[in-house]
Chains A and B, each alone.
Chain A
């Protein structure tokens, strides 16, 4: 009977290109947006800091599925037809930005307050304090959750199937229902996700070793 063979595996592999594209778009967009939000969250303006908090929490609390639906169908209903790719990019950017800013801001916070003061005592301006003293230390703390989020993002692109993308997970479902063999089909899907995600994890761990202060045993 029909098993998960070459045609099926090729189908799944090709579907991965959407996963890659959507992930890249979401991470680039989300990363830039997140950086902006993070700077805003340590601004002197209390209103700005508050706004970032409210926004980040609202977006984080909304399932990505809803964000995608609002961006694709919702905007379409209001007359703004972005198309599947752009609306997915919009939703993923908002989503990524909100999560990344939370992670990054927490990492900055975790650096001891004394570091800010010490940097200031050395005559560094606020921007230089951030760049030269705080960020390198925050980086170590931020790396694992960030790499964790990158991986979540790659896997979350599976939701884009609802706006019509036949991406990796949806391809797995289609093959699973065509062959009635979910385990081989999804094993192939898992293997591809693994190959896509693992490099980020490894990269982050490598960076952790090289660029940050030695950890205590």
Chain B
């Protein structure tokens, strides 16, 4: 028995797409005023991305991004509501007004800047390659013909892909936990990760002798807000400027990343 898509299907499909295309997504450009009026800041944060978005031993939201959000809300004089998102839903949440700002270790790229407005950077960290002590890796080239695990969409995925090491097998896992545990289980030879996570892994498995092998380039990240929200952008940049200067950002950074914050580049 054959079945074919009726003409109604096509009309419905294109009608929906057209309607979406012509509709207005996103909220008013006066987000700043809206936040003040609402008395609440809506910050989209991924709570499964340690140490930026995670949960503490009481299962309360914690992490570098969370602390930044709390600081933002405090300076704005409003309360904070964390909108829990996944990496897939963080941008739609921003663009449809479910969140005012996305604080989720957003790496700054020109391509992404076409969709959202980046604030000034609020963090800069160096990523690294981690492997068991026995594995001989002294430079990126040594990753040739090795399986290297990274978290999907992370900066290390980007760096390793672009360095075009011959024969390298990059495996992108759904989140950091899967990546770390893949290394522990011996499913990958090395992983790309960040200092905090490397330290956590070393603490949990001291007998496995994991060590940092190669440092990768710096990752600079910012918060994201809707295009056109210039008032809010200016305010957040002011906020970042002030706290970069008075050391509050550096304190938070050291608390979560376990290392000193380098100078935040100007934006």
Contacts and interface: CB of A to CB of B under 8 A. Distances in A.
A177 B96 contact: no
Interface of B: 3, 5-6, 8-9, 16, 19-20, 23-25, 47-50, 54-59, 83-86, 88-89, 92-93, 96-98, 175-178, 180-181, 200-201, 203-204
Q: How would you classify the secondary structure of chain A's contact residues: helix, strand, loop or mixed?
A: helix
A3 to B, nearest CB: 9
B15 to A, nearest CB: 11
Interface of A: 1-2, 5, 7-8, 10-11, 50-51, 53-54, 57-58, 69, 73-74, 76-79, 161-164, 166, 170, 173-178, 180-183
Select the residue from B8, B85, B98, B177 with max chain A CB neighbours within 10 A: B177
Nearest to A53: B3
Contacts, number: 95
Given A58-B9, A69-B92, A180-B200, A79 B55 contact: no
Nearest to A57: B3
A77 B55 CA distance: 31
Nearest to A186: B177
A53 B203 CA distance: 57
A130 to B, nearest CB: 22
A79 B55 CA distance: 34
Contacts of A173: 48, 175, 177
Contact of A177 (B24, B88, B89, B176): B176
Nearest to B197: A180
Contacts of B6: 50-51, 54
